[in-house]
């Protein structure tokens, strides 16, 4: 297995493929802060990935016993019984398609002393940070489109696109309630639900003031949850990205755009998780 050293390699280990009785989706690991030394790790995905299911299966990497927590040794399948409100914590806003599962429940399902190997995300850009970006940014999405993945090495697929709206702007989906989103220009397929999206630049990149920087940067842009589709009669309507490919009488065609939940809503989800456990979220 590849020991992740670069930012791109670390992103490969930030996600997990989720299989349920209703389909497949993408989850990602996120460390919510607790204090200076401790965090509360969780798996985050869309509510609609978990909705209707009472059992989920994860195929996790495990830590290489000889290399500590820095190297993966292989795969391990974990099945959990649970659903929304039963293990999975829903975002308190019904219009925000996010939920979280504390990683402790997954760790308890592993035979000791096995530990899962993953590279979690931590922290999100502020509104000021997002407004400081330019309108057009190169973005990547990590996940399992159509359930496809590297089944030998248990790795996700990485896709590239650009922002279709300014990252610092709240794009309101016509006819839909809820907060604004970021729109990306990228083909989004069933199984991509819950995928983390990043502004990603490698080598050199320009910033808003016109200066050029050398290096690599990855900025968490949010979580894919849906996109507009064109119906058979040509009408364009928003749809959540399904977790399973099923035959339908009405033809629906994605138009290569995706809706991304703003990163600030991940923090709101974390605060809600803490409140349910009687904990205080550090500001």
**C-alpha 193, offset from chain centre:** 8
CATH topology of domain 127-262: Thrombin, subunit H (2.40.10)
Residue 6 half-sphere exposure, CB side, CA atoms within 13 Å? 10
Average pLDDT over residues 41-46: 97
User: Which of 159, 146, 153 lies closest to 196, judged by CA?
Assistant: 159
User: What's the pTM value of the predicted model, to 2 decimals?
Assistant: 0.91
- Contact yes or no for 216/7 (Cβ under 8 A): yes
The span from the CA of 227 to the CA of 238, in Å, is: 6
- Assign a CATH topology to domain 7-122+265-276: Thrombin, subunit H (2.40.10)
Asked whether 29 and 17 are in contact (CB, 8 A), the reply is no
pLDDT in tens, 80-122: 999 999 999 999 999 999 999 999 989 888 888 888 999 999 9
**Interval 133-156: pLDDT, tens:** 999 999 999 999 988 999 999 999
SS3 228: strand
Identical fold between 7-122+265-276 and 127-262: yes
Q: Domain limits of the chain?
A: 7-122+265-276, 127-262
**Highest mean pLDDT, choosing among 50-64, 65-79, 231-245:** 50-64
Asked if 269 contacts 279 with a C-beta cutoff of 8 angstroms, the reply is no
Q: Give the mean model confidence (pLDDT) for residues 149-177.
A: 94
Tokens read off for 98 = 């996010």
């Amino acid at each position: 297995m590849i020991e992740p050293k670069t930012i791109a390699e670390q992103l490969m280990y930030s996600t997990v493929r989720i299989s349920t009785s209703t389909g497949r989706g993408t989850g990602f690991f996120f460390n919510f802060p607790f204090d200076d030394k401790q965090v509360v790790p969780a798996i985050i995905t869309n509510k609609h990935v978990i909705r209707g299911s009472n059992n989920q299966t994860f195929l996790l990497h495990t830590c290489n016993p000889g290399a500590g927590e820095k190297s993966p040794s292989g795969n391990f399948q974990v099945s959990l019984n649970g659903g929304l409100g039963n293990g999975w914590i829903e975002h308190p806003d019904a219009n925000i398609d996010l939920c979280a599962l504390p990683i402790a429940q997954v760790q308890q399902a592993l035979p000791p002393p096995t530990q899962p190997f993953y590279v979690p995300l931590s922290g999100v850009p502020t509104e000021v940070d997002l407004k400081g970006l330019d309108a057009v940014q190169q973005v990547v999405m990590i996940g399992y489109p159509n359930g496809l993945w590297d089944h030998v090495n248990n790795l996700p697929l990485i896709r590239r696109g650009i922002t279709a709206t300014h990252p610092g702007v709240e794009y309101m989906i016509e006819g839909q309630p809820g907060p604004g989103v970021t729109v990306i220009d990228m083909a989004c397929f069933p199984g991509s639900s819950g995928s983390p999206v990043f502004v990603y630049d490698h080598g050199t990149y320009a910033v808003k003031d016109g200066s050029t920087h050398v290096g690599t940067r990855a900025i968490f842009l949010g979580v894919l949850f849906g996109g507009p589709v064109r119906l058979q009669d040509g009408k364009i309507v928003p749809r959540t990205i399904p977790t399973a490919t099923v035959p339908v009488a009405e033809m629906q065609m994605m138009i290569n755009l995706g809706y991304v939940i703003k990163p600030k809503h991940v923090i709101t989800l974390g605060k809600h998780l803490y409140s349910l456990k009687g904990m205080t979220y550090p500001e």
